[in-house]
Structure 1
Amino acid sequence: MWPSEVKWNELQFGVEIEFVGGAPEEVELLPGWIMALDEQQTDEAGRESGSELKPPPIRWEQREQIREMLNRLKAQNTQANWSCGLHVHVGLEKWDEAIVKPLLEASLLYQDALRSILQTSEHRLIFCPPVTQEMLERFEASPGPHALRHRGRPQSHRCGINAASWFDWGTVEIRYANGSLDYEEVIRTIELCLRFVAAVGAGRKLPSEPSELASALGAPAGGYPPPAPAPQWHKERMWLEDALIPAIAPQVERLLPDSEILHILPVEGGILVAAEKPDGTLSKFIFRPSVSGWAHVRSIQD
């Protein structure tokens, strides 16, 4: 139960390693490791590429598995580019659900500092929005994953410190780190996240200034995956999405009630709009410009 002292290097963890390039389906996996072939990033030409590699729940003394799998990825000429992230899952089984509220409270105090330590690229912030006071209040009134969900895009219901992951995987997911295939950068990121969760689990009061927080946790002050700028075409695509969503959202709501738009891509003859229901159901729609506005051409169900 919470609070409880647990050594950081005794916690189970997982890590989601995003990359582009290579032939993910050909990588030989260690026992229990998973290659999520449907989780693709964006290469320099704007194509979906790569995949997401993740281990089974492991412990600190098993971390050499990560080095081995990174070496196997790099042997295929894979890369972690500007579109990639590194998500660390830390097991909460030592505290059970009692730690979820303290994690939300800690997020309000320390999320900015944690994000600063990990140097989150600006264009990736859409994937890791902040925990809010409103979320905490919703959770206090009615505990459950529904209280911890943002509305927005894409996947923006997953906060940078994603305590909702407890209800799915028994973990908290920390999503701020930029992508990397460098073992030392990856392992430093995991250590920082483990130390942070152990401190919250122990009920420790921490400083909110980045360098002081790292020092108080006993974590490295630097050496984390560096930020990488998004190409200009990607920025322009995001600006276009921002402009189109207000015009398209009412039609998408009629076609798929209670959904939210994840992304909009230009395709031949129009645009492709991907929208997701709260249960994760993904639908895609093709719209074409007409004299009376955007006309729905057809639907594609994943």
Structure 2
Amino acid sequence: MSAYKERDLPLDLVIGDWEVDGPIEWNDAWDNCRKCVRCRGHIKNIDDFRDFQAALRTIRSDMQKRTYADVVKGSFPRVLVGNYAVYPNDGYRYWYDYFEREPDIQPYKPDQRARYRPWFQEFPLTGYTFAMPVAYTWYRTFDWYDFESPDYRWFYNLLLVASCAGRSTPAEIPLIPFVHWQTTTPPPDPDPRVKQFSEEKYQELLWHMLLRGHDAFAMYCRPAGIGKETRLVQEVFAAALEYKEFLDHGRPVNFEVPPRPGPVVSGLMHGRRVLVRRTDFDATDAAVALKIGGRAFMVPRLTGRCQVLTLGD
């Protein structure tokens, strides 16, 4: 930080990738800690997973705040500082990182074959000034669902992640998700049944993220895929600038994620106008209802385009 400050070079955005360092409650951590005399002496109700998780995440958050967030903000008070996978949530996490195993005994929320884990509200303790969810096409999630549409297996899970973050993050906190299109962390011999997320529907997902409160994108990819990954994100963000007024001042009107393939609608309301986008995963041609303020507004099918609706009296 001092080198930037000494040369009068401002820092506007700092992104951390603090993943596997420090206390983590997953894999064998809970079992090992319950066998540890010192851990049992310091963590009350250690046999309750949520209390155990809260204790470890509190320590982890304090480490990140004191050694990272506070240090950056001490030199650049107006900086946006955040970290991979730290964001407000609805009490659950809808994805697993590459190093995490799916738990057998922790409490979870079932959804077909998915097991969504309980998650501690760590964001307020970190001192971060922007939130950073992770919307990656993790290989394992494809088999969580039985949807006939391969694209909806990806889209459904990623929209759950995006909607959780969008609904849970206060409007004044910027929301900058990590996104990734190519299938993430496949095994050396991947199952041919696991189909790549289509470019078209991935870009539709990005649109819906913007219309559910996300402000920008941070893209992850390996060197071999950087050209296509960059193009897919840039095309959406460039096209979205046509609706800058909505992106800057609108508020999301819908966070529902349809449990089966069909029409998906997202929107931003600004004044009496609503910017909406409808993406279809079935043959539904009829207009679908979008409820805003207790009233239903009909959204016609319009493939690959946004619509601006004006609300009547």
TM-score for the superposition, normalised by structure 1: 0.26
TM-score for the superposition, normalised by structure 2: 0.25
Q: Which has the higher contact order (CA 8 A, sep 6+)?
A: 1
Q: Which has the higher strand share?
A: 1
